[in-house]
Structure 1
Amino acid sequence: MYKLKLVSTVFVCGALFLSGCTSTVKSVHRDDNVKVNAMEASSVDFKGAKLRVGVVNFENNAARKVRDIEIVATNILTTMLQESGQFIVVPRQDLDAILDQQDLSASKIIGPNTAIHLGKVLGLNAILTGSITSYAELVESSNTILTQSKTLVAKVGVDYRIVDTTTGVQLFASHGNGEFRKTSGGLLGFGSKSSADTSLKDGALRDALAKAMNKITGQLTSDLWSGRIAQIKGKFIYINAGKQTGLRIGDTLIVQELGEDIIDPQTGVSLGRAPGVVRGKLQINSFFGKNGSVAGVISGGGFRNNDLVKLQN
């Protein structure tokens, strides 16, 4: 009878032990993403002119060449910009089509002439691009007599930059790091997940680019927004931006000519456009179409198609 109770006790304890040691997986981003979550929550109430931006394919300059990591980075940043509610993001296929026509690569995109050309053709206010500078994976293991746990760690380094498509000038450049940890555990002999896990790469990139978004949104403010006079018909002046951009009835626009393209005499490369002469002011009176507005003259004159318009602070 005593042996029967002992066997039963061992069996129950063993069952409880096994149920407590089944394989588990836990994924962890770095704690500083809390700030990013707060930023994303507040972006829902964003008010102001939304910049029209495009994201050009990142480059992979990491010593360890991970397949398609630059494409994943480009897609993640594009999605984050869209979800922020602060930007109008031009579809990637539109950017790629123009780059293919001009026989250009991402590495040449930050040149002033190319940036200005893309801004003109696609109506962009800014271009974002960058490169993967480093990527590494490592394994941290912890074993006991009957159990094991393994933490897979991915670390990534990212450079990113912003170019103003009106002037062709690089507005901002920075570097960021991301980390992603995935812990799995189970009974010895049953093994844990392999390190050939794409979620590691994706998680590290999301961490790095989520933190980058704090800096990007701090640089790409409504003050940088500009639009163009699309057409003038009598007293009606049609603007290539409207409600979708975040303009409001009664907003005042300052109109100025595009300004002269300044060329470096030593290199022959454009340094960007000089500030144009201010022609006058307009007021938004109504909206039309998907994202257009109709303005009336407040002051000034001599307005022309393609003149630059900016919101008055």
Structure 2
Amino acid sequence: MIKYLLPILLIITTSCSLLAPTQRRDYHGRKERTTQRQHFTGVKKKVALLTFFNESPFGGQDLGVVATEELRRELQKTGQFIVDPMSARLFGSSKQVYSQGGSKLVQMTRKAKGEGVNFVVFGRIIEARVREKSDEVGFVRSTKSYSEAKVEIRIYDVNSNKEIYTDTLDGYADDNSYRFFKSDRNSQSKYRQDLLRYVTKVSVRKSIPRILDTAQKLEWIGRVAKIIGNNIYINAGRDSGLNIGDVLKVVTEGVDIYDPETGALIGVSKGEIKGTIEVVDFIGADASIGILHSGGSVHEGDFVKLY
């Protein structure tokens, strides 16, 4: 009975292996993707990213720089934003914005619109610390480190002239390491700083899905930079994601609406549509040439939106 059973099992095993899908790998041993990566095909929004600051007593301003650069990398990886270093200089640092209660953002809004900035991202490290617990006895001690960071991120929409997003994100990490009892102080300090940098990055990365959700609700807005003859030059082009044949609507600048009792800014009205422009060519890395598609009386400085 057994001698007949073994060949049958061998046949079943062989047939199953033939039916199973073949795992294809490239020269480096990587598996082929079953689905292609999704690439962003819309128009990218221009972001002014202000340098974060660290108000906790640990980690120094190095953590502010780490948070800023990590957020810059993560935003650029999405393919949905152009992080413009020149535009950030209009507003200064995050610390300046906080110290002035956000009034500087309101003051610089008109100039930022001229630069084509869609929104401003700024923030701070509220808390950063490392706690350690080690054995009391022994030449070689087992030490467990617990690190945490709390980062606040805010987004100011230039076009609506108001803050549209604020969130506080926590990052945690713990690590087991063995250290000699008489380890030098410099290596301990570097070790703690590396942990603080890591949890700061963890906190920042958590914000990306929420920032994407917020950005999707905002309209992309560009400007008419120059008009020469029949050519209308737009301050966005190939790098921003515009395509030849895109039709843009030209709108006037909205009017600020204030509360008659408190004097506080309520919002900005929608501008009036003056006409449409068709993109016919690109100029430079990120500018385009359009011609009047419908309507008229287009002027330099007018706003353009996707039709």
The TM-score with structure 2 as length reference comes to 0.75
Instruction: Answer yes or no: is 1:289 the counterpart of 2:280.
Output: no
Q: Aligned in 2, Cα 1:171/1:42: closer, same or farther, shift over 3 Å?
A: farther
Q: 1:106 aligns with which of 80, 85, 97?
A: 97
Q: Aligned in 2, Cα 1:218/1:144: closer, same or farther, shift over 3 Å?
A: farther
Instruction: Answer yes or no: is 1:95 the counterpart of 2:84.
Output: no
Q: Aligned in 2, Cα 1:66/1:185: closer, same or farther, shift over 3 Å?
A: closer
* 3-state SS of 1:194 partner: helix
What percentage of aligned pairs have identical amino acids? 28
Where do residues 18-37 of structure 1 align in structure 2 (5 Å cutoff)?
Answer: none
* 3-state SS of 1:224 partner: coil
- Measured in 2, the distance between the counterparts of 1:296 and 1:75 equals 39
Which residue of structure 2 lines up, in the alignment, with residue 184 of structure 1? 177
- Measured in 1, the distance between the counterparts of 2:228 and 2:269 equals 28
- Measured in 1, the distance between the counterparts of 2:108 and 2:121 equals 10
For the 8 Å contact 1:256–1:278, the answer to whether it is kept is yes
Which residue of structure 2 lines up, in the alignment, with residue 306 of structure 1? 301
* 3-state SS of 1:242 partner: coil
Q: Aligned in 2, Cα 1:250/1:121: closer, same or farther, shift over 3 Å?
A: closer
Instruction: Answer yes or no: is 1:156 the counterpart of 2:171.
Output: no
Q: 1:120 aligns with which of 113, 134, 143?
A: 113
Q: Deviations over 1:51-86 (max 9, x none)?
A: 110111324344x35311333322322232233332
* 3-state SS of 2:227 partner: strand
Cα deviation for residue 125 of structure 1 reads 0.6
Task: Provide the aligned C-alpha RMSD in A.
Answer: 3.0
Deviates more, 1:219-228 or 1:197-206: 219-228
For the 8 Å contact 2:149–2:170, the answer to whether it is kept is yes
Cα deviation for residue 269 of structure 1 reads 5.2
Higher RCO structure (Cα 8 Å, ≥6 apart)? 1
- Measured in 2, the distance between the counterparts of 1:195 and 1:177 equals 22
Gapped regions of structure 1 (runs ≥ 5): 1-40
Instruction: Answer yes or no: is 1:237 the counterpart of 2:228.
Output: no
Which residue of structure 2 lines up, in the alignment, with residue 273 of structure 1? 268
- Measured in 2, the distance between the counterparts of 1:139 and 1:233 equals 66
Which residue of structure 2 lines up, in the alignment, with residue 57 of structure 1? 51
Which residue of structure 2 lines up, in the alignment, with residue 217 of structure 1? 212
Q: Aligned in 2, Cα 1:220/1:85: closer, same or farther, shift over 3 Å?
A: same
The TM-score with structure 1 as length reference comes to 0.74
* 3-state SS of 2:285 partner: coil
For the 8 Å contact 1:109–1:115, the answer to whether it is kept is no
* 3-state SS of 1:214 partner: helix
Q: Deviations over 1:167-189 (max 9, x none)?
A: 21212111211123333226x65
Gapped regions of structure 2 (runs ≥ 5): 1-35
Instruction: Answer yes or no: is 1:259 the counterpart of 2:254.
Output: yes
Instruction: Answer yes or no: is 1:66 the counterpart of 2:59.
Output: yes
Which residue identity does 1:174 align to in structure 2? D
Which residue of structure 2 lines up, in the alignment, with residue 76 of structure 1? 70
